[in-house]
């Protein structure tokens, strides 16, 4: 029997607002426990939540970037349950009336392009952190993280493989980061993913029994966990068994999913509209305002690069990994007008420098204008490609623009034919043995002569010209 | 149970009168909530009761829920549930950081702490 | 006349003319407390030193010509209002040692106005009750008859004013918890429009119903208190950004030509005859002053108690989930594990009535019952609100009794929760609809127990209430008695 996996992903993204969703505490990561806490997020008696407008804006951005329909009216609800990291004994979330519904993203896999639907995007507050003592029967609660704003992005069960799932996650991730509303750090927990997985016989419409997977803290682990779970369920079904509906945790070290140890009781969350918060009304004006702040998104940018700059998809992919890098590249092209050449230089030497430094493209010592100008200099013939390799190193180390360095070091390429001919003649005369060998058929020695001419000119001679003149002179009997 | 009911009851609140009324009601109406349900609800609410208390609660909750049943007589087709007294929208605050409580203040009322955290019995996951 | 027997406006006059000092007033109040508190038990905690210090500070301000509308006036706060650095218990064991690190917005407002805090007043635990018999810290007794209840849940706040143990106080009203004790203790009590007064710092019982309001000795004082506490608060999302008028401007006005609605559902046969008589007299007074009383109907009245006893416990069950022994408050000892800690803490920390309502509320919200109970109740609530909207098209204010009976005996209704719930029958509707209401003394029963008459008005029409209440007060000539303590 052939089984088809049916996967639906739930992503929680922490939003990059300065303050929490319902109070003015800082959202900064890494502070001492319980120091970014106030009566409101501590859930003290008598406190009330007030919604951070930026959270709504950021959620709207994500909704628009994923083609969702933004509901004109939406509201908050309480999800009631007891846990030490949940100070109020309920989480404020959106239930019946979420901010946005019905969007999609397009993902690319080996099989081609596929559209994955989004069920909804809603806002909610994060919970605190619980740390367990290894030896003592104690757990410790840090409430700094309670109230950090989250958006939950619920995907339709349109995903049919672990590969598709990873592609979907990467797409969501790059959009969130491009929009500058989330830093997308899975290890730190600002981008989290849970998965619902089930199998059904190919061709069947009814969904099979699903399990929920948690604790996958990287894209790779999501893919591994899904691959494993799909196999695990397949084995059960093929043996004639039934999949148990349960929550399973991904164990990274063992490479397996394991059922949660605590007895999973079906939670009765008793959702009801939160009486302490009023409804949110998003009108056309507000939508237009926020729409205006949305940058060109990665997919669209890549496609435009391929179209406009006629560069291959691979190049476009690398050049758009970050918005800043894409901007840099386009600035270079503006200066030199040579997109393919610019792409090579940016993807090659420039990225190498940036990565070595572990730096930010935005603070790279080689400005886009400088790089563009350097390319111009090559095209003008003022320097050779080889010379540029050294020049760019200088530019990186000194931060100076190319023309300044050239002037300082007198690096102008030798293009004077007479001068060059003279040097070539000298080189030929100085190497009679090689000359004879070459003339007797050892063509390979051409490279030797080129090297000698390069040495004699300190690398400043135009290579094409060297080739031309050298050939002429060598073939001259 | 109109105000006629209240007036007569307020004169008639001896314990015997109470028990008689209860028996009459029990015979008339279905039981609204059973002991097992009461135990389940108690668990949801993280409360625990002894045998006697559970019985008493079951009786009292039944009384109340029986009374509340009268709501079924109210006509409400197409009525939007009223969740807020005032039709306010968009009560927002700006995204500015306001200073928090110190760690000391945050923990000041805590029953048990360890270092800068709250301490609870270990949670098994 | 003792200073503690005077009103805010009378004392302000004497303070401004330097006839007396705030310290004089506070000392007089504490003398009274020393005399009668042992019998009445209106307070959970007293702030004697703080009050004297505050009074000295107030006197300084008055000297300087500064000082707000309540400068130097001793006021009591229902122990449901978070007071920075001061134990705030909500009448419960589970908060018996809780010290808030912040002030409720109304407490801040009173401070700014120069008020001096006498103490934290006793209340039904978590404001759930109509008799102040469920407080962990003991029963408050009605100053008019020490074997009777003062009403609830703000029984301490009402009794303190009635017994002159403070000049004015603040309470909270979710289903009548200001108006009913006001009627039973013979003082003035007002529940503002929902959203008129900030709930920030009010320990929540039922979020969509709770409002803070004043207890005072007369209507003029009520206007003064309302001026101080009303107003928009950005820390409360349900606070309404509506300007606050000067409520004193509504005093000393006439009501000729007003239409007063008398809802027939509130005046059925079989009502307590003493209450009935006193309220009928009130109707006569109002008519005498030129108002026209008309019969109106509030057709969904019979459903009010049922709606309330779903909506309020449902919201409460969620609001009280935070009392889990983790971050503050009582934590049970010798707990096996987390679950045990939760259950023991909450079962030991909460009293029976609170647990009963949490159970009711949890049930009403639970899977399978939400539609039948909470949703249904919310729909009927919308109808109740409509009833009032319709009524106010035909009348300026509505007049009703406040409580179906005068104060009943301590212990009389504690065995039958449903009976207790039905004592809120006339006050609950205003909370459900969000409209303001005021209770004003309108007479005494044969036994000498106070009876109150209630006026209700449309949203944000506190001015109208004060106008008719003040007019009534001036013309009713209700004998000014004092409780014999």
How many domains is chain A partitioned into structurally? Answer: 3
B6–C404: do the CB atoms touch at under 8 Å? yes
Q: What CATH code is carried by the domain that includes residue C40?
A: 3.90.1300.10
> What is the H or E stretch that residue C203 is in?
none
Show the tokens assigned to C330: 């009582």
* Phi–psi pair at A334, nearest 5 degrees: -60, -40
Query: What is the residue range of C103's domain?
Result: 3-255
Buried b (16+ CB within 10 A) or exposed e, A152-180: bbbbbbbbbbbbbbbbbbebbbbbbbbbe
Q: Identify whether residues C247 and C340 lie together within a single domain.
A: no
Last residue of a domain, one of C378, C411, C440: C378
> Torsion angle of alpha carbons C280, C286, C292, C297, nearest 10°?
-50
Q: Please list, residue by residue across C81-112, b when 16 or more beta carbons sit within 10 angstroms of its beta carbon and e when fewer do.
A: bbbeebbbbbbbbbbbebebbbbbbbbbbbbe
Smallest CA–CA distance, residue A295 to chain B, in Å, is 21
d(CA A381, CA A415): 8
Looking at the structure, tell me whether residues A377 and A449 fall in a common domain: no
Predicted confidence band of residue A265 (pLDDT cuts 50, 70, 90): low
* Residue C286 within any structural domain of the chain: no
Partners of residue A88 in chain C, C-beta under 8 Å: 321-322
Backbone angle region of C178, left / alpha / beta, with phi > 0 → left and psi within -120 to 50 → alpha: alpha
Residues C231 and C309 in one domain: no
Strand partners, C197: C230
Among A72-81, A336-345, A354-363, whose mean pLDDT is lowest?
A354-363
Three-state secondary structure string covering B52-97: HHHHHHHHHHHHHHHHHHHHHHCCCCCCCCCCCCCCCECCEECCCC
The whole-angstrom separation of Cα C154 and Cα C158 is: 6
Domain boundary among C328, C350, C378: C378
Give the Å distances, CA to CA, from A217 to A169, A172, B71, C215.
Answer: 12, 15, 50, 57
| Structure confidence at residue B6 as a pLDDT band (50, 70, 90) | very low
**Is residue A399 within 8 angstroms of chain C, CB to CB?**
no
Residues of B in contact with C433 (CB under 8 A): 85
pLDDT at C156: 98
Q: What is the pLDDT of residue B15?
A: 43
Distance of alpha carbon B101 from alpha carbon B108, whole angstroms: 10
Q: Does one domain contain both C146 and C28?
A: yes
Q: Would you call B89 an interface residue with chain C, using a CB distance cutoff of 8 Å? A: no
Chain C interface, mutation test: which of A270, A271, A274, A277, most C Cβ atoms within 10 Å?
A270
Residue A156's closest CA among A102, A225, A93, A110?
A102
Report the mean per-residue pLDDT for chain A: 92
Domain carrying residue A30: 3-287
Q: How confident is the model at residue A121 (pLDDT cuts 50, 70, 90)?
A: very high
Task: Examine the fold and report which residue of A287, A310, A333 is the final residue of a domain before the chain moves on.
Answer: A287
Residues of B in contact with C381 (CB under 8 A): 81-82
Rounded CA separation B123/C11 (Å): 58
Residue A263 pLDDT grade (very low, low, confident, very high; cuts 50, 70, 90): low
Q: Do A392 and A442 share a domain, yes or no?
A: no
Domain-located, residue A293: no
Q: Is C90 left (phi over 0), alpha (psi -120 to 50) or beta?
A: left
Among A266, A287, A308, where does a domain finish?
Answer: A287
Distance CA C137, CA C144 (A): 21
A447–C contact, CB cutoff 8 A: no
CB < 8 Å to A73, chain B: 89
Averaged pLDDT score across all residues of chain C = 96
- Of C345, C320, C347, the closest CA to residue C331 belongs to C345
**What does the block give as tokens for C232?**
């928009």
Contact B42, B48 (CB under 8 A): yes
CA atoms within 13 A on the CB side of A475: 7
A218 touches chain C (CB under 8 A): no
CB C372 within 8 A of CB C310: no
Q: Give chains near A: 3+ CB pairs under 8 A.
A: B, C
Helix (H) or strand (E) holding C292: strand C292-296
Neighbours of C371 (CB within 10 A): 9
Shared domain check, A186 and A94: yes
| C434–B86 CB contact, under 8 Å | yes
Q: Percentage of chain C with pLDDT > 70?
A: 100
Does residue C85 contact residue C79 with C-beta atoms inside 8 Å?
no
Report the alpha-carbon distance of residue C400 to residue C452 in Å, rounded: 9
- Tell me if residue A475 falls in helix, strand or coil: helix
Q: Which helix (H) or strand (E) holds B117?
A: strand B117-121
Touching subunits for chain B (3+ Cβ pairs under 8 A): A, C
How high is the pLDDT of residue A459?
Answer: 77
Residue for token pair 């079904």? A237
Characterize B15-44 residue by residue with b for buried, 16 or more Cβ atoms within 10 angstroms of its Cβ, and e for exposed: eeeeeebeeeeeeeeeebbeeebbbbbbeb
* pLDDT recorded at residue B22: 54
- End-to-end CA gap in chain C: 16
Question: Under an 8 A CB cutoff, do C327 and A278 touch?
Answer: no
Q: Please state the length of chain C.
A: 485
- Does A278 contact C235 at a Cβ distance shorter than 8 Å? no
Judge: B92–A278 Cβ closer than 8 Å, yes or no: no
pLDDT of residue A466: 83
Q: C249 with C316, same domain?
A: no
Put simply, the answer to whether A45 touches C98 (Cβ < 8 Å) is: yes
C191 contacts in chain B (CB < 8 Å): none
Residue C350 lies in a domain: yes
Of chain A, the percentage scoring pLDDT greater than 70 comes to: 99
A162 and A18 within one domain: yes
Distance CA A198, CA A202 (A): 12
Q: What is the pLDDT of residues B8-34, one digit of tens each?
A: 333 333 444 445 555 555 545 578 888
d(CA C399, CA C452): 11
| Residues A116 and A255 placed together within one structural domain of the fold | yes
The answer, for B48 touching chain C at a CB cutoff of 8 Å, is yes
SS3 C197: strand
CB C132 within 8 A of CB C123: yes
Strands C259-263, C292-296: pairing is parallel
Question: 3-state class of C92 per DSSP?
Answer: coil
User: Helix, strand, coil shares of chain B as percentages rounded to 5?
Assistant: 50, 10, 40
H helices of C366-479, in order, are 376-394, 417-422, 428-433, 462-476
Please tell me the least confidently modeled range out of A33-47, B84-98, C260-274.
Answer: C260-274
Q: Determine the residue of chain A that is closest to C328 in CA distance.
A: A44
pLDDT tens digits along A177-216 = 999 999 999 988 999 999 999 999 999 999 999 999 998 9
Name the band, by pLDDT with cuts 50, 70 and 90, for residue A14. Answer: very high
Can you spell out the DSSP letters for C35-94? HHHHHH--EEEE-HHHHHHHHHHHHHHHHHT---TTTT-EEEEETTB-BTTB---TT-GG
Q: Count CB-CB contacts under 10 A for residue A95.
A: 17
pLDDT in tens, C408-429: 999 998 888 878 888 888 999 9
Kind and range of the H or E run holding C8: helix C8-16
C-beta of residue A373 within 8 angstroms of C-beta of residue A336: yes
Nearest Cβ partner for A42 among B83, B106, B115: B106
Q: Is C389 a member of any domain?
A: no
Cβ separation A80–C314 shorter than 8 A? no
Is C294 contained in some domain?
A: no
**Residues of chain C with C-beta less than 8 angstroms from the C-beta of B7:** 270-272, 404
Residues 6+ apart with CB under 8 A from A411: A383, A387, A391, A405, A460
In angstroms, the separation between the Cα of residue A129 and the nearest Cα of chain C is 13
Nearest-CA distance from C290 to chain B in Å?
30
Q: How far apart are CA A94 and CA A79, in angstroms?
A: 9
| Alpha carbon separation from B115 to A17, B102, B123, C265 (Å, rounded) | 29, 14, 18, 61
Give the Cα separation of C44 and C89 in Å (integer).
8
C325 within domain boundaries:
yes
- Chain center to CA of A373: 29
Alpha helices in A158-310 (DSSP H): 162-178, 219-238, 284-291, 298-309
What radius of gyration do chain A's Cα atoms show?
Answer: 31
A79 within domain boundaries: yes
With respect to residue C383, please indicate whether it lies within any of the assigned structural domains.
no
Residue C480 makes CB contacts below 8 A (sequence gap 6+) with none
* C-alpha closest to that of C175 among C305, C350, C79: C305
> Mutate which of C270, C313, C326, C414 to disrupt the B interface (most B C-beta within 10 Å)?
C270
Side-chain-side CA neighbours of A228 within 13 Å: the count stands at 19
* Selected residues 13-32 of chain B with any CB under 8 Å from a CB in chain C: 13, 15, 18
DSSP state at residue C93: G
Which residue, among A25, A41, A45, would best test binding to C if mutated, counting the most C CBs under 10 Å from its CB? A45
Nearest-neighbour CA in chain A from C262: distance (Å)? 31
Using a CB-CB cut-off of 8 Å, the residues of chain B touching A39 are 101
Task: Provide the ipTM.
Answer: 0.96
Contacts of A19 in chain C (CB under 8 A): none
> How high is the pLDDT of residue C209?
97
Q: What is the mean pLDDT of residues C325-345?
A: 96
Helical H segments across A275-367, by residue range: 284-291, 298-309, 313-319, 323-336, 339-345, 351-356
| Residue A201 DSSP label | E
User: Under an 8 A CB cutoff, do B101 and A279 touch?
Assistant: no
pLDDT attached to residue A261: 65
User: Cβ distance C381 to C432 under 8 Å?
Assistant: yes
User: And the tokens for B106?
Assistant: 């945050």
Closest residue to C307, CB basis, from B8, B71, B84: B71
pLDDT tens digits, one per residue of A381-428: 888 888 888 899 999 999 899 988 888 887 777 777 888 888 888 888
User: Is C148 a domain residue?
Assistant: yes
Question: If pLDDT is split at 50, 70 and 90, which confidence band does C175 have?
Answer: very high
User: Do A398 and A435 fall into the same domain?
Assistant: no
Of A360, A387, A409, which residue is a domain's last? A409
Query: In this structure, is residue A125 part of a structural domain?
Result: yes
pLDDT at A262: 60
Active-site residues of C: which are they?
Answer: 78, 153, 177
Domain count, chain C: 2
Contact yes or no for C321/C126 (Cβ under 8 A): no
CB contact under 8 A, B61 and C359: yes
Of C348, C378, C408, which marks where a domain is finished? C378
How many CA atoms lie within 13 Å of A50's alpha carbon, on the beta-carbon side? 22
pLDDT in tens, A428-475: 888 888 888 888 888 888 888 888 888 888 777 778 888 888 888 887
The answer as to whether C197 is a domain residue is yes
Backbone angles phi, psi at B119, to 5 degrees: -110, 135
Name which of A25, A47, A75, A281 to mutate to probe chain C: the one with the most chain C Cβ atoms within 10 A of its Cβ.
A47
């Amino acid at each position: 029997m052939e089984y088809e996996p049916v996967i639906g992903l739930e992503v929680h993204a922490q939003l990059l607002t300065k303050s929490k969703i319902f109070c003015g505490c800082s959202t900064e990561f890494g502070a001492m426990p319980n120091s970014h806490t106030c009566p409101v997020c501590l859930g003290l008696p008598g406190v009330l939540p007030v919604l951070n407008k930026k959270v709504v804006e950021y959620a709207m951005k994500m909704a628009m970037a994923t083609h969702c329909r933004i509901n004109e009216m939406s509201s908050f609800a309480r999800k009631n349950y007891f846990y030490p990291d949940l100070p109020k004994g309920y989480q404020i979330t959106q239930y019946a009336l979420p901010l946005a519904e019905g969007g999609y993203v397009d993902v690319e896999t080996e099989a081609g392009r596929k559209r994955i639907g989004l069920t909804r995007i809603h806002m909610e507050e994060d919970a605190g952190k619980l740390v367990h003592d290894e030896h003592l029967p104690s757990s410790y609660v840090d409430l700094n993280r309670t109230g950090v704003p989250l958006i939950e992005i619920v995907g339709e069960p349109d995903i049919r493989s672990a590969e598709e799932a990873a592609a979907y996650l990467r797409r969501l991730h790059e959009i969130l980061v491009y929009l500058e509303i989330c830093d997308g750090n899975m290890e730190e927990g600002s981008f989290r993913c849970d998965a619902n997985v089930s199998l059904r016989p190919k061709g069947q419409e009814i969904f099979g029994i699903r399990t929920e997977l948690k604790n996958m803290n990287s894209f790779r682990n999501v893919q591994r966990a899904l691959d494993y779970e799909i196999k695990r369920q397949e084995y059960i079904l093929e043996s004639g068994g039934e999949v148990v509906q349960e929550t399973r945790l991904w164990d990274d070290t063992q490479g397996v999913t394991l059922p949660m140890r605590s007895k999973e009781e079906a939670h009765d969350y008793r959702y009801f509209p939160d009486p302490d918060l009023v409804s949110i009304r998003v009108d056309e004006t507000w939508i237009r305002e926020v729409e205006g702040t949305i940058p060109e998104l990665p997919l669209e940018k890549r496609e435009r690069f391929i179209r406009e700059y006629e560069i291959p998809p691979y190049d476009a992919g690398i050049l758009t990994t970050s918005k800043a890098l894409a901007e840099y590249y386009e600035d270079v092209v503006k200066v030199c007008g040579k997109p393919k050449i610019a792409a090579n230089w940016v993807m090659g030497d420039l990225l190498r420098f940036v990565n070595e430094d572990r730096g930010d493209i935005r603070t790279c010592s080689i400005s886009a204008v400088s790089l563009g100008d350097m390319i111009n200099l090559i095209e003008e013939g003022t320097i050779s490609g080889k010379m540029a390799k050294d020049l760019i190193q200088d530019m990186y180390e000194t931060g100076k623009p190319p023309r300044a360095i050239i002037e300082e070091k007198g690096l102008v390429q030798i293009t004077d034919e007479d001068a060059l001919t003279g040097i070539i003649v000298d080189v030929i005369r100085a190497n009679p043995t090689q000359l004879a060998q070459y003339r007797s058929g050892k063509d390979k020695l051409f490279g030797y002569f080129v090297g000698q001419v390069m040495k004699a000119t300190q690398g400043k001679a135009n290579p094409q010209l060297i080739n031309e003149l050298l050939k002429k002179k060598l073939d001259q009997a | 149970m109109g105000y006629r009911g209240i007036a007569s009851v307020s004169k008639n609140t001896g314990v015997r009168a109470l028990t008689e009324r209860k028996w009459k009601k029990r015979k008339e109406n279905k039981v609204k909530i059973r002991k097992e349900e009461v135990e389940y609800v108690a668990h949801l609410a993280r409360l625990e009761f002894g045998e006697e208390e559970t019985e008493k609660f079951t009786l009292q909750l039944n009384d109340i829920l029986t009374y509340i049943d009268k709501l079924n007589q109210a006509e409400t087709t197409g009525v939007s549930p009223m969740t807020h007294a005032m039709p306010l929208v968009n009560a927002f605050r700006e995204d500015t950081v306001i200073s928090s409580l110190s760690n000391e203040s945050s923990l000041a009322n805590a029953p048990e702490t360890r270092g800068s955290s709250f301490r609870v019995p270990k949670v098994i996951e | 006349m003792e200073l503690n027997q005077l009103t805010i406006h009378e004392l302000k006059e004497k303070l401004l003319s330097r006839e007396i000092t705030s310290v004089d007033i506070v000392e007089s109040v504490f003398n009274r407390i020393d005399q009668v508190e042992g019998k009445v038990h209106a307070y959970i905690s007293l702030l004697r030193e703080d009050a004297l210090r505050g009074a000295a500070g107030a006197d300084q301000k008055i000297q300087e010509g500064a000082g707000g509308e309540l400068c130097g006036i001793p006021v009591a706060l229902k122990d449901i209002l978070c007071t920075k650095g001061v134990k705030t218990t909500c009448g419960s064991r589970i908060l018996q040692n809780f010290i808030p690190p912040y002030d409720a917005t109304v407490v801040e407002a009173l401070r700014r106005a120069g008020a001096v805090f006498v103490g934290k007043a006793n209340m039904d635990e978590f404001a759930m009750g109509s008799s102040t018999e469920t407080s962990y810290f003991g029963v408050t007794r009605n100053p008019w008859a020490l074997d009777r209840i003062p009403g609830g849940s703000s029984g301490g706040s009402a009794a303190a004013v009635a017994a002159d143990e403070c000049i004015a106080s603040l309470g909270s009203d979710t289903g009548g918890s200001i108006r009913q004790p006001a009627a039973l203790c013979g003082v003035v009590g007002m529940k503002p429009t929902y959203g008129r007064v900030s709930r920030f710092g009010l320990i929540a019982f039922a979020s969509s119903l709770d409002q803070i309001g004043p207890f005072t000795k007369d209507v003029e004082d009520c206007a003064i208190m309302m001026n101080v506490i009303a107003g928009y608060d950005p820390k409360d999302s349900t606070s309404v950004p509506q300007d606050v008028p000067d409520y004193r401007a509504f005093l000393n006005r006439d009501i000729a030509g007003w239409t007063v609605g008398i809802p027939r559902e509130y005046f059925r046969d079989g009502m307590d005859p003493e209450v009935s008589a006193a309220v009928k007299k009130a109707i006569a007074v109002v008519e005498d002053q030129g108002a026209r009383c008309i019969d109106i109907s509030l057709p969904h009245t019979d459903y009010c108690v049922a709606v309330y006893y779903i909506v309020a416990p449902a919201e409460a069950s969620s609001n009280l989930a935070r009392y889990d022994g983790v971050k503050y408050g009582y934590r049970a000892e010798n707990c096996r594990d987390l679950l045990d800690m939760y259950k023991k803490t909450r079962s030991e920390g909460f009293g029976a009535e609170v647990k009963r309502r949490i159970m009711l509320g949890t049930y009403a919200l639970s899977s399978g019952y939400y539609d039948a109970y909470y949703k249904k109740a919310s729909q009927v609530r919308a109808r109740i609100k409509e009833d009032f909207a319709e009524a106010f098209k035909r009348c300026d204010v509505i007049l009703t009794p406040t409580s179906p009976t005068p104060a009943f005996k301590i212990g009389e209704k504690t065995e039958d929760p449903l009976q207790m719930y039905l004592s809120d029958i006339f006050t609950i509707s205003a909370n459900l609809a969000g409209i303001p209401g005021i209770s004003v003394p309108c007479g005494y029963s044969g036994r000498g127990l106070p009876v109150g008459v209630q006026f209700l008005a449309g949203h944000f029409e506190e001015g109208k209430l004060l106008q008719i209440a003040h007019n009534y007060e001036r013309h009713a000539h209700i004998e000014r008695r004092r409780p014999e303590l």
